[in-house]
Amino acid sequence: MKKLISCEFNFDSVCVELKFSDGSMIAIDTTAVENEIADNMYQRSELDYLIYNDPIAYAELILNGDPETYLKTVTEYKPLD
């Protein structure tokens, strides 16, 4: 079983990078994820918060979770009338 040895946001590539004990690496393109699943600035802001403050939770959400449902649950969007 691969063990996660590091997870961090790389400002140069705009990716959350996960490195494993067997030498493999996963890079999650955060811009592409936001373009696909975030419908408004509140959802983008929630994803940005996770990227900068808890990249492991972000990676787990994107790789193993349901990000659309998560964003709809934690954000409230009220359009201006």
**What is the Cα–Cα distance from 34 to 16, expressed in whole angstroms?**
13
pLDDT on residue 75: 85
Backbone angles phi, psi at 24, to 5 degrees: -75, 160
Alpha-carbon torsion angle 32, 37, 43, 47, nearest 10: -50
- Concatenating the DSSP letter of every residue in 3-50 gives -EEEEEEETTTTEEEEEETTS-EEEEEHHHHHHHH--SHHHHHHHHHH
pLDDT on residue 76: 77
pTM of the model: 0.85
pLDDT on residue 2: 84
29 has which bridge partners?
15
- Judge contact between 34 and 44, C-beta under 8 A: yes
pLDDT on residue 81: 65
List, run by run, the mean pLDDT of 10-residue segments along the chain (81 residues): 89 96 95 92 93 95 91 79 65
